[in-house]
């Protein structure tokens, strides 16, 4: 039986799952994926919101019997696939495949690091309390997956202390090797038919940054890349290198903890580690203001920074010297020595074209935070790197997402990853956007660069928010605009206002859904991966077309490279990137067949510039208006439908 038949009117899903409705797009997509898996081909598939792409690929994957890696965009989607979607499909099909969930090291408790955690320096009372909570949990957990610990937030300071990295893992010489949660997860993945991973893990392995499943890639016969639009950016990070204050401070803390455990009389370790900790802070101060994101070459020759860089290298060298002597005492101290040497070598060659291998192919840039920094070395182009890895595996590859096309073209996505000889297709959303939505493009707003743009946008948005009864996302392209809008709205609307950063993201979304009439203000992290169904979200307002800042060092370097090669940087890179980002933001509005809402975009370039047509062409086929009266009429019509539906329900019940 073909995948389309299994997902059809007479198939097992229609019989077994309450509320399941066959969708032609889902059936056609599933057949296309089945063919590609059988032929070991490559498919790039845009699957519109609501088409059901998860079942569309799970059915042919499980029916094929081939060893398959499914890579998702986030750990949350991993968990949903493994704990919910795959069991439902297996149960419905009557298949007993072995499925494994594999995450990166940072997601598993490290028993060795837990044992030495109380010897770490600079522990707060909260972190010490968390360590005791984790010690109690360790006795009951089977997987060691830290997502089980809902009482400790994901960003708590304790997690880097009790989880491992490639650099600090002791490997098979670890005293806790036999009980290691990562080793168990790897073993399960080796034996599984289907392994659920995420893009970070996939790319970490491809970039030879061993993360615990390198043995899986050669044996896999099919790769399903879900949320594939994220892959080029993730690839850029993982095919590059970084040097960070976190790496250095973790080295300091681990060296001191291993010293206390295995070489307490070697006080030189503690003294040199403390001096390195101070040098890290001094180097951070020499980098300048908080929240900078600039090209390294803009500051690399500043005398104060050069002096602090030399001091930092000197202090790493001093620590490495004493750790080399102590290395014979334990595997932990030996590992600290090796880490110190690796960081030292990376720092010595960082940003030095004459010593950095393939320096012209990389972008050197840095970013600073209140107490930390990261020095980045990012590939200018990942296409050749990714293509060589992808083609080295004789397997089927399926890349799917709701946002891969620009207009009706897949070239931007495919070129970014170096894909060749691929099949392509667009399976459109089953939602009736003509009936369920309205796009409002207000007139007379100033240019986005205008000082008064945000204030006038909010003035224009307030009547829309009143018409929608709150229930809105306001999506911004910058924190500055978000903060200004939040202040302007406080005294002008009666609805609850939720602002990104005031609570963790998942708590903010839960509160938004619970309140039912709230207005949530967010930036980039709320443009995608957010699923609010029902009337709690009935309006999405986007301030500007999401062009990346040309001042961003990575963006600027890529634009310069395109120009130097004779290309058109705006049309070839900036515009396609912005189109895909806008499609993601717009995708928040309609999430089910019963959803409805108004999309307002405040950027006048959408209608004033010729390239605006490409944005419109790339979006769902919504009715467009420039008149606020149409917005009011839309909501009034939806209210009447709701009342009519309620009347019909009451009549049916009576």
Quick: pLDDT tens for 377-430: 999 889 998 998 888 888 999 999 999 999 889 999 999 999 999 999 999 999
Q: Which of the listed residues 362, 397, 427 is the one where a domain comes to its end?
A: 427
Together in a domain, 366 and 498: no
- Report the CATH number that the domain containing residue 31 is assigned in CATH: 3.40.50.300
Q: What is the mean pLDDT of residues 258-265?
A: 91
Residues 6+ away with beta carbon under 8 Å from 222? 37, 40, 61, 64, 66, 67, 68, 69, 395, 396, 397, 398
Q: What is the CA radius of gyration of the chain?
A: 27
Q: What is the mean pLDDT of residues 124-150?
A: 92
Q: Which pLDDT score, from 0 to 100, does residue 166 have?
A: 80
In a domain, 186, yes or no: no
Together in a domain, 85 and 7: yes
Q: Which pLDDT score, from 0 to 100, does residue 359 have?
A: 56
Residue 94 has pLDDT above 70, yes or no: yes
pLDDT band at residue 353 using 50, 70 and 90 as cut-offs: low
Judged by phi (left if over 0) then psi (alpha if -120 to 50, else beta), residue 399 lies in: beta
Of the listed ranges 38-42, 119-123, 334-338, 412-416, the one predicted with least confidence: 119-123
Of the listed ranges 65-69, 389-393, 475-479, the one predicted with least confidence: 389-393
Q: Which pLDDT score, from 0 to 100, does residue 354 have?
A: 54
Together in a domain, 474 and 511: yes
Closest by Cα among 182, 200, 206 to 71: 200
Instruction: For residues 211 and 238, give the distance between their C-alpha atoms in angstroms, rounded to a whole number.
Output: 12
Together in a domain, 483 and 408: no
> Tens digits of per-residue pLDDT, 491-529?
899 999 999 989 888 889 999 999 999 999 999 989 998
Structural domain range at position 592? 433-642
What angle (nearest 5°) sits at the alpha carbon of residue 436, between those of residues 433 and 437? 75
- Report the CATH number that the domain containing residue 357 is assigned in CATH: 1.20.1440
Q: Which of the listed residues 399, 427, 455 is the one where a domain comes to its end?
A: 427
Q: Both ends of the chain: CA-CA distance in Å?
A: 44
Q: Which pLDDT score, from 0 to 100, does residue 211 have?
A: 46
DSSP E strands, 361-496:
362-368, 373-379, 396-401, 423-427, 437-440, 472-475
Residue 631 has pLDDT above 70, yes or no: yes
In a domain, 350, yes or no: yes
Six-digit token string for 517: 């009439």
Instruction: For residues 521 and 474, give the distance between their C-alpha atoms in angstroms, rounded to a whole number.
Output: 5
Together in a domain, 399 and 503: no
Of the listed ranges 301-305, 337-341, 354-358, the one predicted with least confidence: 354-358
**Residue 422 exposure: Cα atoms within 13 Å on the Cβ side:** 25
In a domain, 188, yes or no: no
Together in a domain, 213 and 287: no
Together in a domain, 386 and 420: yes
What angle (nearest 5°) sits at the alpha carbon of residue 599, between those of residues 596 and 600? 150
Residue 374 has pLDDT above 60, yes or no: yes
Instruction: For residues 376 and 263, give the distance between their C-alpha atoms in angstroms, rounded to a whole number.
Output: 34
Residue 17 has pLDDT above 50, yes or no: yes
Together in a domain, 375 and 389: no
Together in a domain, 248 and 364: yes
CB 231 within 8 A of CB 225: yes
Give 429-467 as a DSSP string.
Answer: --S-HHHHEEEE--SS---TTSTTHHHHHHHHHHHHHHH
267 vs 213, more confident: 267
Nearest 5°: phi and psi at 497?
Answer: -110, 125
Q: Which pLDDT score, from 0 to 100, does residue 476 have?
A: 97
In a domain, 102, yes or no: no
Q: What is the mean pLDDT of residues 240-269?
A: 92
Together in a domain, 289 and 356: yes
Residue 3 has pLDDT above 50, yes or no: yes
How many domains does the chain contain in total?
A: 4
Q: Which pLDDT score, from 0 to 100, does residue 645 have?
A: 45
> Tens digits of per-residue pLDDT, 213-226?
455 666 889 999 99
Closest by Cα among 266, 242, 400 to 327: 266
Six-digit token string for 463: 């009547």
Helix or strand or coil: residue 45?
strand
Q: Which pLDDT score, from 0 to 100, does residue 165 have?
A: 83
Cα 440 to chain centroid distance, Å, stands at 29
pLDDT band at residue 100 using 50, 70 and 90 as cut-offs: very high
Q: Which pLDDT score, from 0 to 100, does residue 25 have?
A: 95
549 vs 111, more confident: 111
Q: Which pLDDT score, from 0 to 100, does residue 136 have?
A: 94
Q: What is the mean pLDDT of residues 440-452?
A: 95
Helix or strand or coil: residue 193?
coil
What angle (nearest 5°) sits at the alpha carbon of residue 641, between those of residues 637 and 646? 150
Q: Which pLDDT score, from 0 to 100, does residue 639 have?
A: 77
Instruction: For residues 490 and 47, give the distance between their C-alpha atoms in angstroms, rounded to a whole number.
Output: 39
Helix or strand or coil: residue 473?
strand
Q: Which pLDDT score, from 0 to 100, does residue 443 have?
A: 93
Closest by Cα among 284, 262, 285 to 337: 262
In a domain, 487, yes or no: yes
Burial class (CB in 10 A: 0-12, 13-18, 19+), 178: exposed
In a domain, 182, yes or no: no
Q: Which of the listed residues 427, 461, 487 is the one where a domain comes to its end?
A: 427
Structural element, H or E, at residue 226: strand 222-226
In a domain, 355, yes or no: yes
Closest by Cα among 286, 267, 438, 263 to 334: 263
Is the C-alpha dihedral spanning 558, 562, 563, 565 positive or negative? positive
**Per-chain mean pLDDT for the chain:** 90
> Tens digits of per-residue pLDDT, 557-580?
989 989 998 999 999 999 999 999
Angle between helices 267-286 and 303-326 (to 10 degrees): 160
Residue 640 has pLDDT above 90, yes or no: no
Helix or strand or coil: residue 148?
helix
CB 311 within 8 A of CB 344: no
Q: Which pLDDT score, from 0 to 100, does residue 119 have?
A: 75
Together in a domain, 411 and 440: no
pLDDT band at residue 289 using 50, 70 and 90 as cut-offs: confident
Q: Which pLDDT score, from 0 to 100, does residue 358 have?
A: 55
Residue 279 has pLDDT above 50, yes or no: yes
% of the chain exceeding 70 in pLDDT? 95
CB 531 within 8 A of CB 77: no
In a domain, 13, yes or no: yes
Together in a domain, 78 and 145: no
What angle (nearest 5°) sits at the alpha carbon of residue 417, between those of residues 411 and 423? 55
DSSP 101: E
């Amino acid at each position: 039986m073909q995948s389309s038949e299994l997902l059809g009117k007479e198939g097992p899903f229609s019989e077994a799952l309450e509320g399941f409705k066959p969708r032609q797009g889902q059936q056609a997509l599933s057949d296309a994926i089945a063919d590609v898996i059988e032929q070991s081909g490559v498919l790039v598939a845009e699957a519109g919101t609501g088409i059901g792409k998860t079942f569309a690929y799970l059915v042919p994957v499980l029916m094929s019997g081939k060893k398959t890696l499914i890579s998702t965009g986030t750990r949350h989607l991993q968990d949903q696939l493994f704990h919910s979607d795959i069991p439902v499909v297996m149960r419905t099909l009557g298949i007993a495949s072995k499925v494994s969930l594999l995450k990166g090291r940072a997601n598993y408790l490290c028993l060795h690091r837990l044992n030495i955690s109380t010897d770490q320096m600079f522990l707060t009372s909260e972190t010490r309390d968390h360590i005791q909570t984790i010690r109690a949990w360790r006795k009951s957990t089977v997987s060691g997956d830290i997502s089980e610990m809902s009482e400790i937030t994901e960003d708590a300071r304790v997690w880097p202390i009790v989880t491992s990295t490639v650099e600090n893992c002791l490997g098979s010489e670890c005293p806790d090797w036999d009980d290691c949660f990562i080793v168990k997860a790897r073993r399960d993945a080796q034996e599984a038919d289907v392994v659920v991973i995420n893009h970070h893990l996939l790319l970490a392995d491809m970039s030879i940054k061993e993360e615990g499943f390198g043995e899986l890639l050669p044996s896999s016969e099919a790769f399903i890349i879900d949320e594939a639009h994220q892959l080029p950016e993730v690839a850029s990070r993982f095919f590059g290198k970084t040097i960070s204050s976190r790496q250095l401070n973790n080295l300091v803390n681990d060296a001191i903890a291993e010293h206390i455990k295995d070489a307490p009389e070697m006080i030189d370790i503690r003294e040199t580690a403390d001096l390195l900790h101070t040098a890290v802070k001094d180097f951070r101060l020499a980098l300048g203001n908080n929240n900078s994101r600039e090209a390294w070459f803009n500051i690399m020759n500043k005398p104060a920074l050069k002096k602090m860089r030399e001091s930092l290298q000197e202090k790493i060298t001093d620590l490495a010297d004493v750790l080399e002597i102590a290395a014979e005492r334990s595997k932990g101290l030996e590992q600290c020595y090796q880490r110190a040497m690796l960081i030292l070598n990376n720092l010595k060659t960082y940003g030095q074209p004459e010593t950095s291998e393939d320096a012209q192919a990389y972008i050197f840039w840095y970013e600073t935070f209140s107490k930390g920094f990261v020095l980045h070395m990012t590939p200018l182009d990942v296409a050749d790197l990714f293509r060589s890895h992808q083609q080295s595996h004789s397997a089927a590859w399926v890349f799917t997402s709701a946002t891969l096309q620009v207009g009706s073209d897949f070239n931007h996505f495919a070129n970014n990853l170096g894909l060749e000889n691929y099949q392509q297709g667009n399976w459109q959303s089953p939602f009736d956007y003509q009936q369920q939505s309205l796009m409002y493009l207000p007139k007379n707003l100033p240019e986005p660069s205008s000082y008064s743009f945000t204030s006038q946008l909010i003035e224009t948005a307030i009547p829309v928010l009143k018409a929608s009864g709150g229930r809105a996302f306001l999506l911004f392209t910058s924190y500055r605009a978000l903060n200004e809008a939040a202040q302007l709205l406080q005294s002008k609307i009666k609805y609850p206002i939720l602002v990104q950063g005031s609570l963790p993201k998942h708590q903010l979304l839960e509160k938004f859904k619970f309140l039912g009439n709230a207005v949530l203000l967010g930036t980039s992290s709320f443009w995608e991966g957010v699923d609010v169904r029902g009337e709690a979200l009935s309006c999405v307002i986007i301030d500007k077309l999401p062009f990346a800042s040309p001042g961003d060092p990575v963006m600027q370097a890529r634009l310069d490279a395109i120009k130097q090669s004779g290309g058109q940087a705006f049309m070839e890179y900036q515009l396609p990137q912005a189109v895909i980002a806008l499609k993601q933001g717009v995708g928040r509005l309609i999430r089910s067949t019963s959803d409805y809402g108004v999309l307002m975009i405040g950027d006048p370039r959408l209608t004033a510039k010729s390239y605006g047509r490409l944005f419109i062409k790339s979006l769902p086929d919504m009715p467009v208006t420039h008149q606020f009266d149409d917005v009011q009429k839309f909501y009034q019509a939806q209210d009447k439908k709701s009342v009519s539906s309620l009347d019909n329900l009451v009549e049916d019940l009576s």
